[in-house]
Amino acid sequence: MKLFINITLEIDTLHRGLITLNRPEKHNAFNELLIQELTDALDYFGKITDLRCLVLKANGKSFCAGADLDWMKRMAALDQDANYQDAFKLATLLEKLNAFPRPTIAIVQGPAYGGGVGLIACCDIVIAHEKTNFTLSEVKLGLVAATIAPYVIKAIGQRQARRYLLTAELFSAKDALDMGLVHQTCNDSDFQEKTDKMLAQILKGDPKAQQITKKLIFDLETTISLDKIKTETSKIIAGRRASDEGKEGLNAFFEKRQPTWTKEFAKK
């Protein structure tokens, strides 16, 4: 594994991958190195065949404060083509995170602004501290949240996006929960408990079934036409019923025991 400067990587005994943003002195703001390191980390974890899930979290007071101001100053001095190449790298990172083949969980312990909201919107499950604030602040800087917009709109819907992308106002964890950006909120006393419970819940599912389910969710929205939904979804169900994992899961249910893929977790 390569050495990273702005993030840390870990794989625990339950085969869960952990990426931690580690620029606390800069509120984990994006710069070109952080973007590249996150992209490399996703590529690295994506090649681990027995990875169960991917957890994205951060050190320090903030989850991610969006763009690093020093980075923005450097990019403002460059021409449009250089800025395009730079923006394309961020878009590539978001695409990789959004399409990561295993379940992804964002643990948001502090403020998330701009691109930080984009990272959250790309994850399958989001748990946030109840005191966390969010904002899509780009228009206040004369910019547009273009690279994160597709994922934010999918997460909170066009109606809410039209408000918060245009006003750049702060919104709370409760607002984020109501809009669908966040799935659970926690306070100081139950933050770790709820996080651990969600991570344990992920391990109860068959890894292959989870990967197929995640792909199906995307395919139903983008590639499977209405006239093919019946045939394609029926093929998927038939395939899983006939698979070793499908048979094991059903047998375990009827025999009132845990399926094989949870045994390692149960020992921990």
Q: Do 92 and 223 sit in the same domain of this protein?
A: no
Query: Residue 206: pLDDT above 90?
Result: yes
Q: Do 195 and 255 sit in the same domain of this protein?
A: no
Q: Do 65 and 191 sit in the same domain of this protein?
A: yes
Report the pLDDT value the prediction gives residue 247, as an integer from 0 to 100.
Answer: 87
The model's confidence at residue 233, banded by pLDDT at 50, 70 and 90, is: confident
Question: 3-state class of 205 per DSSP?
Answer: coil
CATH number at residue 258: 1.10.12
Query: Residue 124: pLDDT above 70?
Result: yes
Position 185 in a domain: yes
Q: Quick one: what percent of the chain has pLDDT higher than 70?
A: 97
Ranking 33-37, 193-197, 235-239 by mean pLDDT, the lowest is: 235-239
| Model pLDDT for residues 125-181, shown as the tens digit of each residue | 999 999 999 999 999 988 899 999 999 999 999 999 999 999 999 999 999 999 999
Average pLDDT over residues 79-107: 94
Report the pLDDT value the prediction gives residue 267, as an integer from 0 to 100.
Answer: 55
Tell me if 184 sits within 8 A of 127, measured CB to CB: yes
Domain boundary among 202, 225, 253: 202
DSSP letter for each residue of 157-174: -HHHHHHHHHH---EEHH
Query: Residue 259: pLDDT above 80?
Result: yes
Position 2 in a domain: no
Query: Residue 107: pLDDT above 90?
Result: yes
- Which residues, listed in sequence order, are joined to residue 30 by a DSSP beta bridge? 67
Query: Residue 255: pLDDT above 80?
Result: yes
Position 96 in a domain: yes
Binning the chain into helix, strand and coil, the percentages to the nearest 5 are 55, 15, 30
**What tokens appear for 13 in the block?**
């005994």
Q: In the chain, where do the E strands start and end?
A: 7-11, 16-21, 53-58, 104-108, 112-113, 125-129, 133-135, 171-172, 184-186
Report the pLDDT value the prediction gives residue 5, as an integer from 0 to 100.
Answer: 95
The model's confidence at residue 266, banded by pLDDT at 50, 70 and 90, is: low
* Mean pLDDT of the residues in the chain: 92
Who contacts 134 (Cβ-Cβ below 8 Å, separation ≥6)?
111, 112, 113, 117, 170, 171, 172, 173, 175, 176, 181
Query: Residue 224: pLDDT above 80?
Result: no
Q: In terms of Cα–Cα distance, which of 90, 63, 82 is closest to 144?
A: 90
Report the pLDDT value the prediction gives residue 268, as an integer from 0 to 100.
Answer: 53
163: phi then psi, degrees, rounded to nearest 5: -75, -55
**What tokens appear for 186 in the block?**
């926690």
Position 27 in a domain: yes
Report the pLDDT value the prediction gives residue 120, as an integer from 0 to 100.
Answer: 97
| Model pLDDT for residues 179-199, shown as the tens digit of each residue | 999 999 999 999 999 999 999
Domain encompassing residue 66: 7-202
Question: 3-state class of 206 per DSSP?
Answer: coil
CATH number at residue 147: 3.90.226.10
Q: Taking the mean position of all CA atoms in its chain, how far away is CA 191?
A: 18
Tell me if 24 sits within 8 A of 64, measured CB to CB: no
Q: Taking the mean position of all CA atoms in its chain, how far away is CA 17?
A: 12
**What tokens appear for 205 in the block?**
């599912």
The model's confidence at residue 58, banded by pLDDT at 50, 70 and 90, is: very high
The model's confidence at residue 265, banded by pLDDT at 50, 70 and 90, is: low
Q: Rounded distance, CA 265 to CA 268, Å?
A: 5
Q: How many distinct structural domains can be found in the chain?
A: 2
Average pLDDT over residues 62-89: 89
Q: Do 170 and 262 sit in the same domain of this protein?
A: no
Query: Residue 96: pLDDT above 90?
Result: yes
Q: Rounded distance, CA 129 to CA 24, Å?
A: 17
Antiparallel, parallel or unpaired: β 133-135 and 112-113:
parallel
